[in-house]
Amino acid sequence: MTTFADALPGETFTLSGTTEEGFDTLYGIPAVTLGENCDRLMTLGHITDRAVLAVTSAYHRRVWGHRVLPSSELADLTRVGTKRIGIKVTKGGEDDYAWHVDDADPKDPAAQTATIMSVEWLPHEDVAIQSECPACNRASRSTSLTTGPGYDGWGHYHRCRYCHHTWPAALAFDDLDDQRDRWLYSEALRGTPPAQAAQAWQHRLALTARRVAPRPQSPAAWAP
Ligand SMILES: [Zn+2]
């Protein structure tokens, strides 16, 4: 069977799951994302439910930096979010993808087996720190990954449940200078004078520091 290196544009070849073909190793299993929004993960062969959960969780941790939460959706992932199918892989042309994949009849001699998982809808631990809406001052704890002011591509945003204002989230693991720039930019768009926006940022830093500081221990029951 033809390999990726030997295949000509438009020719069918057999994926072997090497880095040359764009695979990453997640939990020791070669996997690759599919789709423009990387909403699906594919591994070669028909893998077990346990391996599906391990690969999906490793993907969320590595690529998005967050932990998938235990929930009933994990059962749905293995029940309806995972397809064990036959695929046929074709090498792309010069200005095309390196290769693309189509469903194939398992009886087709050019078909190979693969497992495809939907990975983007799983509930996960939020990576942002609680923050007050700059427009109405109500607190927001959760964020969503979307496009908005202050990021070139996708980013984490708070969206106020009350006034629907959207502002960039401060991420626990993010660079502080980047966060400040995003904050100042988002406030400038709202018409806040720069000095006032800078002061509000300093105030937020102090609040954040308090929120991530360990809570004081409650006094022991036997203490006088
Ligand atoms: Zn608001």
Within this chain, do residues 78 and 52 fall inside the same structural domain, yes or no? yes
Model pTM?
0.60
Taking the alpha carbons at both ends of the chain, their separation in whole angstroms is: 79
CA gap 37, 120 in Å, rounded = 9
For residue 11, report the distance from its CA to the centre of ligand 1, in Å.
Answer: 55
Residue type, 145: L
Task: Assess whether 78 and 21 both reside in one domain.
Answer: yes
Neighbours of 194 (CB within 10 A): 10
Number of domains observed in the structure of the chain: 2
Q: Is residue 161 one of the residues assigned to a domain?
A: yes
Collect the ranges in the chain with pLDDT lower than 50. 215, 217-224
Centre of ligand 1 from the C-alpha of residue 36, in Å:
32
Q: Which of 208, 211, 49, 45 lies closest to 113, judged by CA? A: 45
- Of 118, 141, 173, the domain-final residue: 118
Ligand 1 mean position to 20 CA, how many Å?
A: 48
Domain boundary among 71, 94, 118: 118
Interstrand relation of 12-13 and 40-44 (parallel, antiparallel or unpaired): unpaired
Tens-place pLDDT, residues 53-100: 999 988 887 777 677 877 788 888 998 999 999 999 999 887 678 888
The domain in which residue 164 lies consists of 131-212
Between the CA of 144 and the centroid of ligand 1 the distance, in Å, is 16
Rounded-to-integer distance, Cα 138 and Cα 169, Å: 14
Residue 184 lies in a domain: yes
- Span from the CA of 167 to the centroid of ligand 1 (angstroms): 10
